[in-house]
Amino acid sequence: MSESTVSYWHKTARVPHFPRLDKNLICDVLVIGGGITGVTTAYCLAQKGEKPVLIEAGHLCDGTTGNTTGKITVQHGIIYSNILKKHGRSFAKSYLDSQSEALDFVRRQVRDLRIDCQLTESPSYIYAENDEERKTIVEEFQTAKDLGVDAFFVESPVFPPGAVGMAGFQNQLSFHAVRYVSALAEAAVKMGARIYCDTKAVKLIDGEVSTVLCENDVTIEARHVVMATQYPLYDGPNLFFTRLYAKRAYGVAVEAQRDWPEGNFINAGQLTRSIRTHVEDGKKILIVVGEGHPTGRGEENEQAHFDNLVTFANQLAGVKTVLARWSAQDYETPDQIPYIGRIGDRQNIYVGTGYGKWGLSSGTLAGIMLSDLVATGSCPYEALYSRRRADYSTSLGKTIAEVALPIVELVKSKIEATESAAGIRQGEGRVIRFKGQRAGIYRDFDDTVTILDISCTHMSTTLNFNDAEKTWDCPAHGGRFSVDGKLLEGPPKNPLKVLFRGKYEDIAVRLE
């Protein structure tokens, strides 16, 4: 995350500090990842009397959980009508019931632990901007109502501007996710969980007792391993690289000039606009998130995504001050349903991922389900969220297209033309030819130039420069690297090779 893109949530929260693991460990349950999925799992396990160990590569909420809109709702865009068509009524109903349980869980923990995370109850709206979208929303509204959602329809909404129909789901939530997860982590530790930060897992060797190797040569042996890392560290027989699609999105928090109606809003259109209100010290803050695109395939100038959101916020309520801007990524599955459960034939390795930007509720649900699976061997909703469900055959057309896209990218990125590095500006990254090979160059603000081999260490796709975050992003499976080649997130396991690092003046002549 670059300094200029720190989320509003990170700017306004104190994340508890936990030490680095510096010696080998044997434990019953290891949870990898300190976002909402990992922390909820550890918390639920501790509530059941287990003594889980959680390791996190950076700090808690460093991943997507620290960079969300902060809605926790069962209104997940257009989803119930899609699940109904693909999987039938019982799956659609289970999806609603399970997500409702996640909301109730959050309500209970906030009440019982007295968590100060501004949990707010209001309707969640999905709105249409044209007749086609309106039809889709009416269908979604009718399906949701039939499944038991307390829903209503607004024929002529006054907000957001341009809305031509809107379905509202009553009693949905929004909160400060970083404060919530931090409090849950502290409560888990009080009940006997151990949390280690700055401890990155690099390899999982499966077995009756699995062995996890960490970056600093520390080894953890565990009977159960929960992967709460978004893209799983260990694939087993799942071929997750053909089943999970990384998508980035952008967020801004603004102080507005005019008032606006409260509630959570999201549009039904392709270019997402997600809106909510957050109240901090009695002051209303407008949060707008959207501009989603597959990772590594955004606008050439990624700053444009932020500008578009600020323009949109200006239309909503007039922008007085931009308080924060950020971006993050999440993974989608072919049929919009996450994978939560056992990873494969191994009974003791588990995963929670593929939340499609609804992981504050689905990650909470994963924590509940995975802790049950570990502690008792079974849990409700296993079939719905299983990686064994028929997600290919039931959404065939879409799946083939989506699976093919990353494969096309693997080829396409290798045949695109390269540019010269002459006149590269500070803060700019480009793909060039260096010593006869394709490479990525970045000129830092202190004039340091770093040239990297930008073949992704996952499957050799050529990376694209992300101008907003100053990162190298993989258009195929969402791997991301810093401008000095360090692995930031996604499926790759190794950093990028540095081909040159030095001062601009030392290499400028060679770049002409």
Specify the stretch interacting with ligand FAD by CB under 6 A; choose among 317-325, 359-367, 429-437, 450-458: 359-367
| Closest distance to ligand FAD from the beta carbon of 5 (Å) | 11
| Closest distance to ligand FAD from the beta carbon of 222 (Å) | 13
Whole-number Å distance between alpha carbons of 183 and 117: 9
**Residue selected from 13, 38, 99, 218 as contacting ligand FAD according to rule CB under 6 A:** 38
**Which residues, 97 to 136, sit near ligand FAD by CB under 6 A?**
none
Indicate the residue among 64 and 466 with the shorter CB distance to ligand FAD: 64
| Closest distance to ligand FAD from the beta carbon of 437 (Å) | 29
**Residue selected from 341, 363, 475, 478 as contacting ligand FAD according to rule CB under 6 A:** 363
| Closest distance to ligand FAD from the beta carbon of 412 (Å) | 25
| Closest distance to ligand FAD from the beta carbon of 216 (Å) | 11
CB 152 within 8 A of CB 106: no
Under the criterion CB under 6 A, does residue 225 sit at the interface with ligand FAD? no
**3-state DSSP assignment of residue 498:** strand
**Partners of 24 in the β-ladder:** none
Indicate the residue among 92 and 266 with the shorter CB distance to ligand FAD: 266
ω before 123 within 30° of 0 (cis)?
Answer: no
**Residue selected from 36, 220, 324, 468 as contacting ligand FAD according to rule CB under 6 A:** 36
Report the 10 Å Cβ neighbour count for 506: 11
Chain-centre distance for alpha carbon 95: 20
The 3-state secondary structure of 158-191, one letter per residue: CCCCCCCCEEEEEEEEECCHHHHHHHHHHHHHHC
**Which residues, 44 to 73, sit near ligand FAD by CB under 6 A?**
55-58, 62-65, 67-72
Under the criterion CB under 6 A, does residue 77 sit at the interface with ligand FAD? no
DSSP 225-278: EEE-SSS-S--TTS-GGGT-EEEEEEEEEEEESS----SEEEESSSS-EEEEEE
**Residue selected from 160, 232, 263, 359 as contacting ligand FAD according to rule CB under 6 A:** 359
Indicate the residue among 200 and 470 with the shorter CB distance to ligand FAD: 200
The residues, ordered by sequence, that sit 6+ positions from 377 with a Cβ below 8 Å of its Cβ are none
**Which residues, 269 to 288, sit near ligand FAD by CB under 6 A?**
none
Chain position carrying tokens 């009397």: 49
Whole-number Å distance between alpha carbons of 492 and 202: 10
Whole-number Å distance between alpha carbons of 280 and 54: 31
Residue 330, CA distances (Å) to 78, 190, 356 in order: 17, 30, 6
Specify the stretch interacting with ligand FAD by CB under 6 A; choose among 187-195, 228-236, 299-307, 308-316: 228-236
Specify the stretch interacting with ligand FAD by CB under 6 A; choose among 27-35, 140-148, 161-169, 339-347: 27-35
Indicate the residue among 221 and 428 with the shorter CB distance to ligand FAD: 221
Whole-number Å distance between alpha carbons of 442 and 472: 10
40, two tokens: 């909820």
331, two tokens: 């993974």
**Residue selected from 15, 21, 31, 32 as contacting ligand FAD according to rule CB under 6 A:** 32
Q: Where along the sequence are the contacts to ligand FAD (CB under 6 A)?
A: 32-38, 55-58, 62-65, 67-72, 200-201, 228-230, 233, 249, 251, 289, 328-330, 355, 357-361, 363
